[in-house]
Structure 1
Amino acid sequence: MSDADARQDLLDALAEGIDEMAKALATFGEAYELLDENSQDRLEDELFGPVQKAYGRAQRTYNAFAERRGLPTRTFSEVSPGTHARSPREYLERGVEAVDEAEERLIELQDSMMPVTYGDPELRAGLADVRALVASARERSGDFLRTLGR
């Protein structure tokens, strides 16, 4: 495998995490519309905001690394929140699951040592920032779901 192929594999792995964050944002957006104002504010602060920041940072990290290495950049699209649900809890649970998946993808990527072997300091810093934001949302998600409606 060439270095260019390995770097593309690294970007593909990062893209999987970005796609999971997009799913989380879509489902959190649907849940937001079904929540009361207090819960909307909490969702924005505790889950949506950190994931939105992580999503933006991950895209910038992806595209900056691709540009530095002469690889194709990518535009990430919005995704569907899935089948319609009447309950905000269903959307929130889907979103939390997507956050969990995003964090798992980032952990797998970092554990693979690909960012060390084929990446650069800027990529590693970007991944660390993204993972911290996603971990923050993941940590808060359990409390958010437990206290929803109280």
Structure 2
Amino acid sequence: MSDADARQDLLDALSEGIDELGLALTTLGEAYELLDERSQDRLEDDLFGPVQKAYGRAQRTYNAFAERRSLPTRTWTEPSPGTHVRDPRVYLERAIEAIAEGEERLIELQDSMMPVTYGDPELRAGLADVRALVAQARGASDGFMRTLGR
């Protein structure tokens, strides 16, 4: 495998995490529309804000690395939130699952050592920032669900 192929594999792995974070944002947005104002504020602070920042940072990390390595950049489209329901908990559960999947993809990528072998300091710093934001949202998700509606 060439270095260019390995770098593209690294970007493909990062893209999988970005896709999951995009799904989390979409489903959090659907949940937001179904919540009362107090819960909306909490959702924004505890989950949506950190995931939105992680999503943006991950995309910037992807595209900046691709540009530095003369690889194709890309844009992401908003995924479907799934079948429409009137229960915000369904959307929240989908979002929390997507956050967990996104975090797992990022962990697998970092554990693979590809960012060290084929990446650069900027890529590693970007991944670390994204993981911290996703971990913040993951940490807040159980508490949010436990106290929803109280």
TM-score relative to the length of structure 1: 1.00
Q: How does 1:58-73 map to 2 (within 5 A)?
A: 58-73=58-73
Match of 2:92 in 1: 92
Q: CA deviation at 1:79?
A: 0.7
1:134 aligns with 2:139: no
Q: Report how far residue 85 of structure 1 moved.
A: 1.3
**Equivalent-residue separation in structure 2 for 1:113 and 1:27 (angstroms):** 31
Alpha-carbon displacement from aligned partner over 1:93-117 (angstroms, at most 9, x marks no partner): 0000000000000000000000000
Residue 86 (structure 1) shift: 1.2
The 2-side partners of 1:19 and 1:85 are apart by 22
Offset from partner CA, 1:53-82 (integer Å, 9 cap, x none): 000000000000000000000011111101
SS in 2 for 1:80: coil
TM-score (norm: length of structure 2)? 1.00
Q: What are the residue-to-residue correspondences of 1:111-126 with 2, within 5 Å?
A: 111-126=111-126
Aligned residues: 150
Q: Note the alpha carbon deviations across 1:4-59, whole angstroms, 9 max, x for none.
A: 00000000000000000000000000000000000000000000000000000000
Identity %: 83
**What RMSD in Å do the two structures reach over aligned CA positions?**
0.3
Gaps of 5+ in 1: none
- Tell me the distance in 2 between the aligned counterparts of 1:68 and 1:82: 36
Amino acid at match of 1:106: L
Kindly provide the amino acid, as one letter, of the partner of residue 101 in structure 2: E
Letter matched to residue 24 of structure 1: A
Structure 1 residue runs of 4+, over 3 Å off? none
Partner of 2:123, secondary structure, is helix
